[in-house]
Amino acid sequence: MNINFNQIIKVFTPFLILFLIAYLLTSILYIYLPKKPKINIEQVSYNVEYAKYKLYKNFQEKSVKQKIKPKKKIQAEYKLISNIILKAIYSTQSNGGWIIISENSSSKTYILSIGDTFKNYKLKLIYNNYVIFTKDNKEYKLAIKADNKKANYTIKNIENETPINNQITQSDNEFTIERKLINNYSQNISKIWKEINIQDYKIDGKLNGFKIRSIASKSIFHSLGLKKGDIIKKVNNIDLKSYSNAFSIYKKLNNTTNLNFTILRNNEEVELEYEIK
Amino acid sequence: MKFILKTIAYIVFFLTMILILLPKENLYYMGQNKLENFKVELTQDIIDESNFGLTLGMLKIKYDNIEVANISKFDITTYLLSTKIDIKNIIVDNAFTKFVPQGIKFLSISHSILDPLKIHISSKFSLGSLSGNIDILNRVIKLNLTVSKSFRSKYRQIVRSLKRVQKKDKKEEYYSYEYKF
């Protein structure tokens, strides 16, 4: 078999030349392109975190703040827990141990220790005469009776039992917001949008704050003293001149100890100040 | 005829070689730098260059130092006749849930030389799906969304900005969105 090398070279030479041209072009491009990603070193902010310092307070007698204790909601009935009979408790000193329960409808008994779940009720604590179950953020207290015929039970809500107004307290002309309330909002932004409707406030086409279009009457914003038509200009001394400023305030909410609003109300600048505890 | 075929073969070969030899990773770095001028910051944990594409893993997108979204996999593949971008698992920051639905499982953007004036988009998210296109000539984005009941109640703000359309058999309906740029 005769191999015509001349013919093969003739066919492949143009491809080789094209490959070299492509290689040359991409190499030139490579020279001009960045070789490594730009490493962004996070800029350390030298701005002092906004906080209210009250030096004069050190020279004053400390006043005792009276907190209004929220009333515990007790519901009278609950089907399943009422059907459980607490037969025996074996408790330790550290509220541990195990219990024996049975259902009214059957003679079957169950042994539970702390952390065990019975029909979605989680056993939380064991005391000498009663035990605490939890389910759906509610606590269920089940007590033992001497005759073992019927157990006492009470139910209380673990969360959301404190109205917003009770979580914002006032003493010595100072307003205090409970940290729990702030955290609740910072972790759930959709809750904020449900309770307040804001709109960009622009001067000469530039963002210069946010105008409140509406506020829900039972919301934290209403309790904080914000009103419909207010223009929020600053929060914690940060001008709301960009969306990023607004979001950076929102992101820092969990760690901030003071909340300060500078608002424009009826063309007058008003300051609202709160301490978060 | 032979000459034409030869020329086409040379062009295809040359373009294929260019695509293979292109420093894709470096081009991405250039894109990264360009986006920084618009306050958009991209950072990734994994970068993988292939013959015809680039894959980025654990991509974080920040705008003005605020984390906007996390993407588990961003894959761009380009052949001579078509280009495709596949994005998997987009997690948008909680702060933007009012405007963008959470849990976007998949987003695909594709362009083909057979339909050069349109860029096709399709997406699947936890509560529905999306399909549509970008008309380059008329500068119009057209999107059709098929969403579940829970989407409608969860993202009322988004649904309000959409137009409700009923299919011909009137059994199914979808939402359409049109934007001119």
pLDDT at A28 over 90: yes
Look at residue A161 in the predicted model and tell me its pLDDT: 47
pLDDT at B6 over 80: yes
pLDDT at A74 over 70: no
Closest CB from A14, A26, A243 relative to B18: A26
Q: How many CB atoms lie within 10 A of CB B66?
A: 20
CA distance B18 to A13: 18
Length of chain B in residues, anyone?
181
Share of chain A above pLDDT 70, in %: 68
Across chain B, mean pLDDT equals 86
Q: Is some CB atom of chain A closer than 8 A to the CB atom of B37?
A: no
Look at residue A79 in the predicted model and tell me its pLDDT: 54
Residue B110 pairs with which residues in a beta bridge? B84, B120
Look at residue A129 in the predicted model and tell me its pLDDT: 76
CA distance A166 to B22: 65
Q: How many CB atoms lie within 10 A of CB A53?
A: 7
The two beta strands, A174-177 and A268-276, are: parallel
Record the tokens describing residue A32, joined without a space. 């001009």
- Does the domain formed by A164-276 have CATH 2.30.42.10? yes
CB-based contact B26 A15, cutoff 8 Å: no
Choice between A104 and B54, residue whose per-residue pLDDT is larger: B54
- DSSP symbol at A42: P
Confidence of residue B122 (pLDDT cuts 50, 70, 90): very high
pLDDT at A188 over 60: yes
Look at residue A203 in the predicted model and tell me its pLDDT: 83
CA distance B175 to B130: 9
For B58, phi and psi rounded to 5 degrees? 50, 60
pLDDT at B32 over 70: yes
Minimal CA separation from B11 to chain A, in Å? 9
Choice between B57 and A117, residue whose per-residue pLDDT is larger: B57
CA distance B132 to B120: 6
Architecture of domain A74-157: Roll (2.30)
First to last CA, chain B: 44
The b-or-e profile of B153-172 (16+ CB within 10 A means b, else e) is ebbeebeeebeeeeeeeeee
CA distance B104 to B160: 20
Contact residues on chain B for A247, CB-CB shorter than 8 A: 66, 95
Look at residue B74 in the predicted model and tell me its pLDDT: 93
For A203, phi and psi rounded to 5 degrees? -120, 125
Look at residue A30 in the predicted model and tell me its pLDDT: 92
Choice between A14 and A160, residue whose per-residue pLDDT is larger: A14
Most confident among A45-49, B96-100, B172-176 (mean pLDDT): B172-176
> What does the pLDDT average to over B75-87?
91
Share of chain B above pLDDT 70, in %: 94
Confidence of residue B86 (pLDDT cuts 50, 70, 90): very high
> What does the pLDDT average to over A245-273?
81
- pLDDT tens, position by position, B33-77: 999 888 888 988 888 999 999 999 889 988 877 788 889 999 999
Across chain A, mean pLDDT equals 74
CB A276 within 8 Å of CB A257: yes
Most confident among A123-137, A229-243, B76-90, B166-180 (mean pLDDT): B76-90
Domain residue extents for chain A: 74-157, 164-276
CA distance A50 to A258: 7
CB-based contact B63 A244, cutoff 8 Å: yes
Residue with tokens 């309790």: A223
Which of A140, A144, A166, A165 is closest to A154 using CA atoms? A140
CB A227 within 8 Å of CB A270: no
CB-based contact B98 A193, cutoff 8 Å: yes
Record the tokens describing residue A139, joined without a space. 């606590």
CA distance B34 to B172: 44
Helix (H, G, I), strand (E, B) or coil at A181: helix
Q: How many CB atoms lie within 10 A of CB B121?
A: 19
CB A129 within 8 Å of CB A122: no
pTM assigned to the model: 0.58
Please enumerate residues of A whose Cβ is less than 8 A from a Cβ of B.
Answer: 14-15, 18-19, 21-23, 25-26, 29-30, 33-38, 40, 187, 189-190, 193, 242-244, 247-248, 250-251
Contact residues on chain A for B27, CB-CB shorter than 8 A: 33
Q: How many CB atoms lie within 10 A of CB A3?
A: 7
Record the tokens describing residue B81, joined without a space. 């006749």
pLDDT at A78 over 50: no
- pLDDT tens, position by position, A147-160: 544 445 555 554 44
pLDDT at B154 over 60: yes
Choose the weakest-confidence range: A189-203, B65-79, B158-172.
B158-172
CB B105 within 8 Å of CB B91: no
Choose the weakest-confidence range: A234-238, B5-9, B53-57.
A234-238
